[in-house]
Amino acid sequence: MSKAANKSARRKQAPQFKKAFLHPKYWGIWAGLGLLRLLAFTPYSWKQPVGKALGNLMYWLAPKRRRLAKANIALCFNDKTETERQTLLKQHFESLGIGLMEMGMVWWGQHKRDHDHAFERSLVRFIGKEHLLNAQAQNKGVLILAPHFTTLEVTGLFISFLTHYHAVYRPHDNELMDYLIAKGRSIQFSNGDQVKPVSNANTRQMLKVLKAGQSLTILPDQRYRAKGHVEVPFFGHNAKSNPATSKIAKLTGCLVVPTFTRRLDDGRYEVEFLPALENFPSGDDYADTLRLHQLYETEIRRNPAQYLWVHNRWNLKHY
């Protein structure tokens, strides 16, 4: 089997621990994991302040990502002054740092030991949860659409407090990181069921879940340059995009429920479920993707610092 074929096969399988992960080449990752584990022990009231401090450190230690985020923000918010954009940039890095602290909470929080009575349940308020539950009651399968905000890690955890679901994720190129991410995001319910990440390369499994009337979370808004992409305006600028949401909905007949998580200043969160999209898919991948982009853009304008600006969404060459 060729190296490419082997990689493709691996991406479709659930990652497993390997003795090879103890090799010295992985020691840097283990050290980083150990630091994250230590940070997870901090009292909850410290998590946002510590996260902001981490974000400020990242701002100076990651100049390439800082320049990319600055370029993305300038592209999307040319109506803001330079001072306003710089403030937003710094707030974004603080948000990234808080996201690291949230990762520790998701990977090792109380919910891992007692999901039904976890402390984390007290942190979230749901808005429009009837939209999700009504969609699920139709037994058509539900695609829970959650764009890439810095609250990515906690979104899956909070949804697990409402419903069982399967989580789609992009396998990491580093096998140890792939294993750690999949393990960290797995959630054990009290009845023995589990939320286990499903590789976005395993299309057959994704379709099977939805055709069985179950729910699946997906994050569809990042750059997509593979065959079949569509170039659709996002903040007024063409972006190479994945029409997979439309295609999956067409193949399975599932309902699509857009979902947004917001981190609040008091240390709590709100998760909002919008009504299931009507007349979706329309049969026009471009029109469907544009419709989704407009939904994302509305939420990003409402909550700009928490969107993932360090991703090269518009395939910028110079920044």
For residue 317, tell me if it sits in a domain. no
For residue 316, tell me if it sits in a domain. no
β-bridge mates for residue 201, sequence order: none
Reading the block at residue 312, the tokens are: 């090269």
For residue 262, tell me if it sits in a domain. yes
For residue 311, tell me if it sits in a domain. no
Q: How far apart are CA 264 and CA 229, in angstroms?
A: 35
Q: Are 249 and 280 in contact (CB under 8 A)?
A: yes
pLDDT at 9 over 50: no
pLDDT digit string, tens, across residues 210-225:
999 999 999 888 888 7
Q: How far apart are CA 262 and CA 155, in angstroms?
A: 9
Q: How far apart are CA 306 and CA 176, in angstroms?
A: 27
pLDDT at 209 over 60: yes
For residue 63, tell me if it sits in a domain. yes
For residue 318, tell me if it sits in a domain. no
pLDDT of residue 37: 95
Q: How far apart are CA 156 and CA 154, in angstroms?
A: 5
pLDDT digit string, tens, across residues 223-262:
887 788 999 999 999 999 999 999 999 999 999 999 999 9
**Which structural domain range is residue 181 located in?**
3-306
For residue 169, tell me if it sits in a domain. yes
For residue 181, tell me if it sits in a domain. yes
Number of domains, the chain: 1
Half-sphere exposure of 260 (CA within 13 A, CB side): 19
